[in-house]
Amino acid sequence: MVATAAVNQGLPPSLGSEVELLGVSKVRPKGAGRETGGLVLNHVHLHLDPGSFVAIVGPGGCGKTTLLRLLAGLEAPSAGHVHVGGQPVQGPSPRRGIIFQDANLFPWLSVLKNTTFGPLAVGVAPAVATARATHWLTFLGLGKFLHRYPHELSGGMQQRVAIARAIVNEPELLLADEPFGGLDWITREQVCDELLRLWHTTRKTFLYVTHALEEAVYVSQRVVLLSARPGTVAHVIEINLPEQRWAHADLRFTPEYARLVEEVREVFAEQTALAQSARSAA
């Protein structure tokens, strides 16, 4: 019974959290870490409704990963406020899951044990952790691979485990940093559909960074375009496509989809051109 309650079977899922960034800037010390440091994010205002799916795109190096790291609590802003669920973000928490391009699985643990690792670490009872992990792994099509090891899985399957590992903690916010960048296009489209189904089922708040403009349109309800570094919100485009996109096999061939991709592409090109002219003027 505890295990059933733990995966919310048959119950309406609780919405993910509201996300608020108010005047967020990030300065890195000169010479610290990779590249030059300096102002990375400049006065970012961003609001995500609870349970929404928002994509972020922007030129290389404009601060997308930095923005996710601030939301994950891996770094603190230099100015401004980062709030999730009405609370200031003050450090990492399993309530804010993050998925990177590399699945980062523990090679010595099975798929199931990779997935129960997080809940067990925060004191969830083993039977509940196993029930939750089995539920989400099965949801993501890995029910037959629970006892396999990461090296026995394809890249797409490893990313599905990474998704299960984030969602098993029942996060209020799921952050994804180009999670499918290393996959071939067909696998990538399949895993995007899995992610959309997962969002539709869980109603958590999803924030998804990608370089692929078509993918940003396909997965999200809203695309946020950042300017070139120092990144700030340059434009927001609402994506009014049907929610259950995986059920519309021809969605990517519709005029509305093409129009939205073109709109995102135009703003992206403008931002890239602005960045180039700023560089040549410097």
Ligand X SMILES: Nc1ncnc2c1ncn2[C@@H]1O[C@H](COP(=O)(O)OP(=O)(O)OP(=O)(O)O)[C@@H](O)[C@H]1O
Is residue 66 involved in binding ligand X (CB under 6 A)? yes
Q: How far is the CB of 47 from ligand X (least distance, A)?
A: 20
Q: Which stretches of the chain bind Mg ion, using CB under 5 A?
A: 64-65
Stretch that binds ligand X, among 31-39, 186-194, 236-244, 271-279 (CB under 6 A): 31-39
How far apart are CB 151 and Mg ion at their closest, in Å?
Answer: 26
**Closer residue to ligand X in complex, CB, 58/179:** 58
State which of positions 237-266 bind ligand X (CB under 6 A): none
The residue from 16, 64, 168, 192 that contacts ligand X (CB under 6 A) is: 64
The one of Mg ion, ligand X, none whose footprint includes residue 91, by CB under 5 to 8 A per kind, is none
Q: How far is the CB of 280 from ligand X (least distance, A)?
A: 18
CB 205 within 8 A of CB 48: yes
For residue 260, the minimal CB distance to ligand X (Å) is 21
Nearer to ligand X, 40 or 103 (CB): 40
Out of 34, 151, 186, 277, which residue is the one contacting ligand X (CB under 6 A)? 34
- Under 8 Å between Cβ of 39 and 227: no
Q: Does 114 bind ligand X (CB under 6 A)?
A: no
Nearer to ligand X, 247 or 269 (CB): 269
Q: Which two tokens stand for residue 196?
A: 């959309």
Which CB atom, from 7 or from 40, has the smaller least distance to Mg ion?
Answer: 40
The yes or no reply on residue 33 touching ligand X (CB under 6 A) is: yes
Q: By CB under 6 A, name the binding residues for ligand X.
A: 28, 32-35, 37, 40, 58, 60-66, 229
